[in-house]
Amino acid sequence: MAAKLKTGDKVVVLAGKDKGKEGTITSVDPKAGKAVVEGINMAIRHTRQSQTEQGGRLPKAVPIQLSNLALLDANGKATRVGFRMEGDKKVRYAKTTGDVIDA
């Protein structure tokens, strides 16, 4: 199945502790159905000090379920993603406005 959400998409969180926050997808794991969003679903990673790096409590973005994310359209509103054929090319489009997402 084609990916509705891809790396680089601007998304908004629909559910969970970060509900309403916006961010950009940095990576997607389609097999697990999860994505890492910049600045969303942060966890503290305790790291040991090494010769080159300072140790301590470092914040790290952990994966969030794809069903809890919605794409932002040109107006900045959450939208669902659809697919349609334009010529001989399959494109993603925003269901709210009908605009093509990636040309």
With a CB cutoff of 8 Å and minimum separation 6, the contacts of 80 are 70, 71, 94, 95, 96
With a CB cutoff of 8 Å and minimum separation 6, the contacts of 41 are 16, 17, 18, 61, 62, 63, 64
What amino acid occupies position 11? Answer: V
**CB 83 within 8 Å of CB 93:** yes
Q: What is the pLDDT of residue 102?
A: 74
What amino acid occupies position 39? Answer: G
Phi and psi torsions of 66, nearest 5°: -65, -30
Q: What is the pLDDT of residue 101?
A: 87
Residues above pLDDT 90, as percent of the chain:
85
Mean pLDDT of the chain: 92
Give the global pTM: 0.83
